[in-house]
Amino acid sequence: MEYPISHYFLVRSQSGQTAGQHVERYLAGNQLISYAEFFVRKGEVLRGVDEKFWDTLGYGLAANNIFARRMLDHLKEEGVTTLDQLLDLRQGYATKILHTLTHLLDGFIGIDSVFYNLVEDSHRVSAGLTEAIRLTPAEYWLVPVRTGKLEASVLHPVD
């Protein structure tokens, strides 16, 4: 069976193999999401010196941003226009959207996370880390992960 890429992980490592193993250990022990199966194809791992590295990183960051903006749009559709209104939200759909958005902003990985930065435990890349990657690109890797069926997720019920 052919699985699409579910996540891209940014890792600092001495080799692509070690970077992939780091991601596999991270996902195997993750309590927020678990998959029936997941795998890394060594040939798809990108090193910071690879031509596709920055474009792929940009894709992942943009995808996370699009998801976050979609969550904001849902909140607006529910009538949220100011921060003061958050205290009066009734528990339900709007609070679930807010919760999901907060996880994305706070750095908790979820099934909707296209890109995840294991170096900084974040869905973003700081200016300092961007500079570090530019200075020593051979130390950084983007590890694409292909996943099977979702078994469990704190943020999304599984059928």
pLDDT digits (tens, 9 = 90+) for 17-34: 999 999 999 988 877 777
Given a cut of 90, is residue 156 above it in pLDDT?
no
Q: What is the mean pLDDT of residues 109-124?
A: 92
Strand ranges in the chain using DSSP code E only, listed in sequence order: 5-12, 33-35, 38-39, 46-47, 115-117, 140-147, 150-153
Residue identified by tokens 């939200």 is 89
pLDDT band at 151 (very low <50, low <70, confident <90, very high): very low
pLDDT digits (tens, 9 = 90+) for 39-70: 888 999 999 999 999 999 999 999 999 999 99
pLDDT band at 82 (very low <50, low <70, confident <90, very high): very high
127 is written with which tokens? 């200016």
At 148 the pLDDT is 66
Q: How buried is residue 5: exposed, middle or buried, by Cβ count under 10 Å (0-12/13-18/19+)?
A: middle
Given a cut of 80, is residue 157 above it in pLDDT?
no
At 111 the pLDDT is 82
Strand partners, 114: none
At 158 the pLDDT is 47
Distance of alpha carbon 2 from alpha carbon 102, whole angstroms: 32
